[in-house]
Amino acid sequence: MAMAQREKITLATLRARKKSRIPITMLTAYDFPTAQIEEAAGIDCILVGDSAAQVVLGHSSTLQATMDFMIPITAAVRRGAPTAFLLGDMPYLSFHVNTEEAIRNAGRFMAEANCDCVKVEGDARIVDTIRALTAATIPVMVHMGLRPQAVHQAGGYRAQGRDAKSGQRLIDEARRMEDAGACALLLEAVPPEPARIIAESTDLPVIGCGAGPYCDGHVVVLHDMLGLTAGPLPKFVKRYGDIRDQMAAAVRAYLADMVDRRYPAAEHCYQMEPGEAAKLHPAPRSNP
């Protein structure tokens, strides 16, 4: 029996979740079948993150993600998850040059990938961009705290807001983002104390990514929580599976079956109609 399709998750849904203190669920996805799985599981929000540059393409940072890469994979995720709240991650330099280019690129996410929202990384210096995108009717989530696109400027992947001065700066900037028209905030690698003040002092949904238990929801990179990512994980990631080991075991089993000629077996073959095989004969050799 087919599962009934749920109602579309909208920004109003997320605001209602916050008001009712119901945690907002969010994961990343980068392809159609993964989006189908997350949709069927009931995930509220799916972020097509520029982290795809790392976990899908194998780059060392997110900076190599481009608009021409992000738009098709985001559109694929939308086809797999029609009712989830879909966020497209604005890649490096896609919204920094000028507001006109920012609007054009964000508009591609909305029109070509059918997103519900775009996500931009930034601090107080992008307030005018947030205001311009909002004026262009484009919902914007602002990614604050640790910003992977600014990792070289920050000197590495380091938690932010760990002292009172920098924590207060995050609190003040969050207010400025709200005033500029942001529809949601994402806090990455931020201690629980400033994250709590931000979440409790705004009506905006606040999503944590290593920002403690007081945010309105949380997001992690799917490949990290499933064990697909090789090497050490961020401190805030809880591993829920070992898919990498399972895939490796499946590949080894396939290899062994092939070497020992156990695959393909008769049950994996298409059979000719009775008596038809006897009518076949080798094709004549051509003259050299």
Reported as a single tens digit per residue, the pLDDT across 237-270 is 999 999 999 999 999 999 999 999 999 999 999 9
Whole-number Å distance between alpha carbons of 87 and 92: 16
* Residue 55 tokens, joined: 């976990």
Site of tokens 């070497």: 259
Could you confirm whether 38 is annotated as catalytic?
no
Residue type, position 186, single letter: L
Instruction: Provide mean pLDDT across the span 63-78.
Output: 98
Report the candidate in 125, 133, 117, 123 with the shortest Cα–Cα distance to residue 219: 117
Instruction: Provide mean pLDDT across the span 46-72.
Output: 96
The catalytic residue among 188, 193, 200, 267 is 188
pTM of the model: 0.93
Whole-number Å distance between alpha carbons of 44 and 110: 18
Residue 3 predicted with pLDDT over 60:
no
- Summarize the chain as % helix, strand, coil (round to 5): 45, 15, 45
β-strands 140-145, 85-89 pairing: unpaired
Q: Which CATH architecture has domain 11-241?
A: Alpha-Beta Barrel (3.20)
